[in-house]
Amino acid sequence: ELVLKVRIQNPNLRENDFIEIELDRQELTYKELLQVSCRELGVNPEHVQKIRKLPNTMLRKDKDVARLQDFQELELVLTVSDKNLLFRVPALSERSGYNKKASELTY
């Protein structure tokens, strides 16, 4: 088995920890990496724009995946559209610095 560290790329999360996934070395393909990563992270594969090997290398094909070594860090870069928000945006009243009394002032 090949053990990789994977997370969702999102700089807005306070805690964006990696999880470890295992891939069968006999099935090291881009498709298998995508499927296992998405299943473990609870992401729809259709929402993945690209897979990045940190710090700055995009994985594109099976040969790229075959070169990965144990415990390398990967990020799933997701596509986000207005109709399909993948991460909940906090309401204005949940954001720090929000003043409820100031929002109720009438002029």
**Whole-number pLDDT of residue 105:** 52
Q: How many whole angstroms separate alpha carbon 46 and alpha carbon 49? A: 8
CATH class of this structure's domain 2-78? alpha beta
Q: What is the pLDDT tens value at each position of the chain, 107 positions in all?
A: 999 999 999 877 777 889 999 999 999 999 999 999 999 999 999 999 999 999 999 999 999 999 999 999 999 999 875 334 444 444 444 444 545 444 455 55
Q: What is the SS3 assignment for 102?
A: helix
Give pLDDT, residue 95. 44
Query: Cα separations (Å) of 107 from 68, 92, 101, 102?
Result: 62, 21, 13, 11
The size of the chain, in residues, is 107
Q: For residues 31 and 46, what is the distance between their CA atoms, to the nearest angstrom?
A: 12
